[in-house]
Structure 1
Amino acid sequence: MPTTLPVPIQFRLPQGWQAAPPEEVGASDVAFIALHPHPDAGFTANITIDGDYRPDNATLVDIADASVERLREVADSVVVTSRREIGSADAPGLTQRLALSAVSGDVLRDLVQSHVYLSMLDVGDPRRRAVIRMVLTATATQHDSIVGDFQDFLRTVRPDTGTGP
């Protein structure tokens, strides 16, 4: 069963990308997944979204570090190639790029992940902090050609207040 996001968001997918039921594509630990229309060497690039309430005082750097450690449990190698804090004190965010080698479809693949973490307050209860994570995963050869799609997608992400676009 797919997870749900702790706060509602709205977004638009880049042209050609298609949403898929997370449990049908082996991504039951995310709330949303979209697939790129053109696989590279048998691997389909994807954008995933997940998140959780964070009642603790963990920083976005702490949360990003924990993501890296979880990946190290399943990947042959994981290297953080860049990390940068973004946003403001009221709306903090963090980006990181990872290079990793992992088995996918019985093949060891060189992959790149671009992570974006956004800290959001619950619209219904502003005392509750949620962190939303959006991840682009692609082969190392395809990543740079589709990262612009991910950036276009990120520009459309906003809290869903139920009042329309």
Structure 2
Amino acid sequence: MPSTLPVPIEFRLPDGWRPAPPDEVGASTAAFVALHPGPDSGFTANITIDGEFRAGGRLTESADESVQRLQAVAGPVAVVSRRETGTEDAPALTQRLAFSAVVDGVRRDLVQSQVHLGLLDTGNPHRQAVIRAYLTATTTQHDAVLPDFQEFVRSIRPDTGR
């Protein structure tokens, strides 16, 4: 069953990307999944979103845990880059991971770009919601779909119900 996000958000998908039910594409812990229209050698680039509340945790802890979760299912993971950005009120951390995984019986070299966004819980300032957005693609397709992912991340906003 797909997870729910700790806070409601809104976003805009890049042209051509289509939503997919998380359970049907093997991403049962994701709250949202979108698929790229053009697979690369049988692998479909995807964007996923998940999140959680964290008690006073730093985004680096969330990023480290993401690496550990990926290592548990894919084996060795290389952290290619990591950078903290944003502001004190809206912190962000980006990281790029490289790994190899068996998908549909074929070993593939993959890259995952992650963005961890921190949002303060207005009801409890000691709790922080972390929204995580992931782009997973083959090494050959990653740089071609990265601008779509960046556009997607820029569109993420808290959903204020307006």
* TM-score band w.r.t. shorter chain: over 0.9
- 1:42-61 equivalences in 2 (<5 Å): 42-55=42-55, 57-61=56-60
Q: Is residue 77–residue 102 contact of structure 1 (8 Å, CA) maintained in 2?
A: no
Question: Residue 120 of structure 2 corresponds to which residue in structure 1?
Answer: 121
- Any idea what SS the aligned residue of 1:73 has? helix
Number of aligned residues: 161
CA RMSD in angstroms comes to 1.0
Q: d(CA) in 2 for partners of 1:145 and 1:3?
A: 29
More strand by share: 2
Q: d(CA) in 2 for partners of 1:74 and 1:2?
A: 18
Q: CA deviation at 1:79?
A: 0.3
- 2:161 is aligned with 1:162: yes
Question: Which structure 1 residue ranges, 5 or more long, are not aligned?
Answer: none
Q: Is residue 57–residue 128 contact of structure 2 (8 Å, CA) maintained in 1?
A: no
Compute the TM-score of the two structures, normalised by the length of structure 1: 0.94
- Any idea what SS the aligned residue of 2:89 has? coil
Q: CA deviation at 1:126?
A: 4.8
**One-letter amino acid of the structure 2 residue matched with residue 14 of structure 1:** P
- Any idea what SS the aligned residue of 2:140 has? helix
Question: Which structure 2 residue ranges, 5 or more long, are not aligned?
Answer: none
Q: d(CA) in 2 for partners of 1:79 and 1:31?
A: 25
Compute the TM-score of the two structures, normalised by the length of structure 2: 0.96
Q: d(CA) in 1 for partners of 2:124 and 2:137?
A: 35
Question: Residue 135 of structure 1 corresponds to which residue in structure 2?
Answer: 134
Q: Is residue 3–residue 28 contact of structure 1 (8 Å, CA) maintained in 2?
A: yes
Instruction: Provide the identity percentage.
Output: 64
Question: Residue 28 of structure 2 corresponds to which residue in structure 1?
Answer: 28
Q: d(CA) in 2 for partners of 1:16 and 1:42?
A: 18
Q: CA deviation at 1:58?
A: 2.2
- Any idea what SS the aligned residue of 1:68 has? helix
**One-letter amino acid of the structure 2 residue matched with residue 15 of structure 1:** D
